[in-house]
Amino acid sequence: AQSVSQHNHHVILSEAASLELGCNYSYGGTVNLFWYVQYPGQHLQLLLKYFSGDPLVKGIKGFEAEFIKSKFSFNLRKPSVQWSDTAEYFCAVITHNTDKLIFGTGTRLQVFP
Amino acid sequence: ETGVTQSPTHLIKTRGQQVTLRCSSQSGHNTVSWYQQALGQGPQFIFQYYREEENGRGNFPPRFSGLQFPNYSSELNVNALELDDSALYLCASSPRLATDTQYFGPGTRLTVL
């Protein structure tokens, strides 16, 4: 069965630190990849997505992610985090043979001023 | 453009009861998916509806059922509630294909006592 792994369950950073959140998936076929963010008290919002083309995708609020097909990875990065980035981050994958969006367990990011 | 809306916001039920949750999809979207998000977990796919037909189902028992209406709004019904059904239930809509980006509503928090 397809699955998504997020290795970092809880990350604590100071403002201006760099961020990288890991995401790996288990499926060898065509996938669409997503990062969603859930700010405290708010609903899931799309941060960025990859369907095809340039494997380095840029999203909102300065986030980017790189799709490395050979590593089945789609890691999220931000060069300098802000206190307002405190949230839960979810990696999600949809495979073209099942059409089911599968989420990782999430990474809780806390940024301190 | 109106986003995805869900009702009610919160709900408290007792074991054995039945519950109906409602979702209005984003304008122009004809695909609706439902997810269960337990505390500290990523959303788990329940099922998806496309043009009023079920189009895929996750690992949930038959007591989880749904409907999609001609205006593409949707209902999630859960019979014979169990304590483990306590969770945030999310609805997401997408424009056309199941592999398109899904946009999430705020969710319904269900508590089963």
Provide the residue count of chain A. 113
Task: Choose among A43, A94, A103: nearest Cβ to B99.
Answer: A94
Q: What is the pLDDT of residue B98?
A: 62
What is the pLDDT, as a whole number, of residue A27?
84
C-beta neighbour count of A108 within 10 angstroms: 15
Q: What is the pLDDT of residues B45-86, one digit of tens each?
A: 999 999 899 988 999 999 999 999 998 899 999 999 999 999
Residue B1 has pLDDT above 70, yes or no: no
How far apart are the C-alpha atoms of B99 and A95, rounded to whole Å? Answer: 8
CB contact under 8 A, B48 and A43: no
pLDDT, position B97: 67
**Which residues in chain B are contacts of A106 at CB distance < 8 A?**
40-42
**Residue B2, Cβ density class (10 Å: 0-12 exposed, 13-18 middle, ≥19 buried):** exposed
Whether residues B48 and A99 touch (CB distance < 8 A) is answered with yes
Give the model's pLDDT for residue A2: 80
Q: What are phi and psi of A2, to 5 degrees?
A: -70, 145
Greater confidence, B64 or A96? B64
Dump pLDDT digits (tens) for A15-54: 999 999 999 999 878 899 999 999 998 999 999 999 999 9
Of A43, A96, A104, which has the smallest distance from its Cβ to B107's Cβ? A43
Whether the pLDDT of residue B2 is over 90: the answer is no
Q: What is the spatial distance between Cα A60 and Cα A68, in angstroms, rounded to a whole number?
A: 20
DSSP state of B70: T
- Nearest-Å Rg of the Cα atoms of chain B is 13
Q: Which of A46-60, A79-93, B86-100 has the lowest mean pLDDT?
A: B86-100
B103 and chain A in contact, CB less than 8 A:
yes
pLDDT per residue as tens digits for the range B21-48: 999 998 888 999 999 999 889 999 999 9
Please, what is the average pLDDT of chain A? Answer: 93
More confident position, A28 or A55: A55
